[in-house]
Structure 1
């Protein structure tokens, strides 16, 4: 059987595509979650900083032309409770510094009433600054009071790192879950193809019915093409069987007529050289007839072994019938065929093929035996099964040939003088193997060949 030229399987390609999509989705999920959590953390910190700055600004009072600020304790303590970070503040009136950390970076990018945010580095640490200002009337002059509150980012960075690990775990978990789902989806997607393959592979060689199982619409053209092929193949096999039957009739009958006419001619010819020529012609006719017949028998066996009939065959009756059919042949050669033992045995199989196998074995034994010889046939049953044994008194098998004599057209080195095609034992072997048995070739201790057809019991 020719191995198909295969590429990457559909399942593998589908699985790779699904895994790639899952990996891309997992990376995007990690990036989105990282960005969202970072934004939420930043907004949370900015809101706390803004609330702290506004609470300080709300505590400012103007009295007799001076501004006073009662710095609320909660304004900075809320920062420590929330994130356990260092906090800084600075209070400025116009360009003058009132309280806090004078060198704390300030922002000039805001308008009255707005709160601005910026990131900076202060005292060697990253900080986040919220600044807000409000206009106050002092001595009939408008002055801006600016409050800046800052907080280090160490704790938030640790929190973001923890969130990043969690996001990474979620992304990896999503990919693992997606991989499992991808395998399930890939398997489910190609299941109809496997079902179709199993449905076709379970059929016997001669089961060429159209596939009727429901399939996905994408597979409908494939199934239609397969059904069309089966229909054409069924017609071809039917024509081949008809051809074999017709050939058997049209080849054997004319050859038999020609041989009869040649024998009649041989009786009328008086010159020895002419008689010799007619004998050679008869020999050639016999060889052609035997070869053609066994070729047709082998073709018939090939067709029938693909679809064995299941009928109960009584082997002891089949042996008696086959021996009786060959009686004219072995009587003509003055050979005796003795049936020594016939145990009752039954086998479920193809009667025509079993008879063909036995006929070819017996025909070989008769063909290689000379006048006055004896052929012995027996059928014995034991615990392991039963064996049909055919022994003759001919030249036997050459020991170096027994491994190859069951192959097509193989003949022993000591059989060149006998007409034959090398298919008799091949036919017997193929029929016996089709019924679960084996053919064994050996030589008798007193001379001659022994062929055993062994069948399993039950």
Structure 2
């Protein structure tokens, strides 16, 4: 499987991107609201200023008079250090102020007297905000329209907005950093059930196809169901294969035994050398086929029982003695002596699988040993492990890598002419690994022969 970008990293980056977008939006909104609030404050002060000035208008001897109140300008200076401009016009006559201050078009008595109007413009090269108010003052026999205009530069608004924008940017950055940290925690917490399921599957052995039982979010429930269904189908397929192998091995061994007996009878009755040689070759082929069928059955048994491994007390010393006793007639036919050096060593496991493993190793040692030699079986126990070793005086394990000899149907390069199927060590290793142990292959004493050891936890 080719690994792509981490799902946790993707989720973290996605959520962090959302947090960054929200931070930018919040900064933009705070900056906009700050500018609006500053402009509204300036408009309110300008409105209060022009209203205060307009309220001081009066008439004397038919003419409009004005005394500029100090408070009208002091309130403008209270919020910033901006420059202030003003202009008061009675009809077409300038009462006071800056004559060249242009009142925006549309501001006049016909636009609604008594109503403050606002506008943004430019004066003396500076941006300004203006407020204008028109009142009618009775002068003589007719009312005279008086327009009061007050303007202020906008540096204060810019400074206030910039200051608030910097504060908003700092808060947005802090919000993003906190959100990014929380995002990483949330991503890990969200993926924890998936990692738990992954770890559970990774810890399982190749024969463990039991269902997964985990409390998982609703989004992972279909995945768990699919995995459990897959393991059920895989288990059924494996069991069908094992049943087929066991049945085939059983059905093959019976007719092979019959063929071998008939071939031996015929061999005794035949006198011709050529015919006797052909019969011997046939008997050898039957032996190889029978042995392969038997070991295929043993292998299927090991795989099947490993799925539901028993944990009974097993005395490895007693198992070793029983295996040696069962194979003693085979060894005696070739004058091979079996030396047993055992002690009581109790482990917990499946006695059938352990017996199967040791029987295959001891059978290999007898088969590959020369006539009139000795095969030694030792059981040694220490604080943590129990070791069962089988040592022979045969040709050894060859010059190749010994770890490959446990592969199915793999045999050494120095066993030509000896009947074998290449399954003995495979069966032994599968049985021992099912118990959490290991199989060690090495040379015998003084570099002669082979030493195969089964190592289990005490």
**TM-score, with structure 1 as normaliser:** 0.89
* Residue pairs, 1:4-153, within 5 angstroms: 7-8=4-5, 10-110=7-107, 111=111, 112-153=113-154
- Deviation per CA, 1:260-298, whole angstroms, max 9, x where unpaired? 121122112222222221111111111111222223333
CA contact (8 A) 2:132 2:149 kept: yes
1:455 match: 455
| Counterparts of 1:347 and 1:72, CA distance in 2 | 108
> Which residue does the alignment assign to 1:231?
232
Output one character per residue of 1:19-66: Cα deviation in whole Å (capped at 9) or x when no partner: 333333332222222222211111110111111111111111112112
Unaligned runs of 5+ in 1: none
Aligned position for 1:423: 423
Map 1:372-391 → 2, pairs under 5 A = 372-383=372-383, 385-391=385-391
Alignment partner, residue 366 of structure 2: 366
Distance 1:395 1:171, change over 3 A: closer
Match of 1:82, SS state, is: coil
Instruction: Using the TM superposition, give the Cα deviation of residue 160 of structure 1 relative to its aligned residue in structure 2, in angstroms.
Output: 0.8
Q: How many residues are aligned here?
A: 453
Residues 273-284 of structure 1: matches in 2 within 5 Å?
A: 273-284=274-285
Measured in 2, the distance between the counterparts of 1:211 and 1:453 equals 35
SS in 2 for 1:126: strand
The change in CA–CA distance for 1:443 and 1:401 in structure 2 (over 3 A counts) is farther
Over aligned residues, Cα RMSD in angstroms? 2.7
Report the CA distance shift for 1:8/1:202 in structure 2 as closer, same or farther (over 3 A).
Answer: same
1:349-404, Cα deviation, whole Å (9 max, x unpaired): 23222222221221122112333222222223345634323232333343446454
Paired residues for 1:157-236 under 5 Å? 157-198=158-199, 200-201=201-202, 203=204, 205-211=206-212, 213-236=214-237
Name the CA shift for 1:450/1:275 in 2 (closer, same or farther; >3 Å): same
Structure 2 distance, partners of 1:314, 1:404, is 30
| 1:355 is the counterpart of 2:355 | yes
| More divergent stretch after superposition (320-329 vs 183-192) | 183-192
Instruction: Check 1:338–1:15 CA distance in 2 against 1; reply closer, same or farther (3 A cut).
Output: closer
Separation in 1, partners of 2:430, 2:208: 20
Aligned to 1:312: 313
In 2, Cα distance between equivalents of 1:349 and 1:78? 96
CA positional deviation for 1:213: 4.4
2:331 paired residue number: 330
Q: For the structure 1 residues 397 and 181, does the alpha-carbon distance in structure 2 shift closer, same or farther, using more than 3 Å as the test?
A: closer
**Structure 2: stretches of 5+ with no match in the other structure:** none
CA shift, 1:317, in A, is 0.2
Answer with 154-163 or 419-428: which moved more: 419-428
List per-residue Cα deviations over 1:62-88 (Å, max 9, x = no partner). Answer: 121122112111111111122232222
Find the counterpart in structure 2 of residue 437 from structure 1: 438
Is the CA contact 1:387–1:452 (under 8 Å) kept in the aligned structure 2? Answer: no
Q: Could you tell me the TM-score, scaled by structure 2's length?
A: 0.89
Distance in 1, matches of 2:60 and 2:319, equals: 134
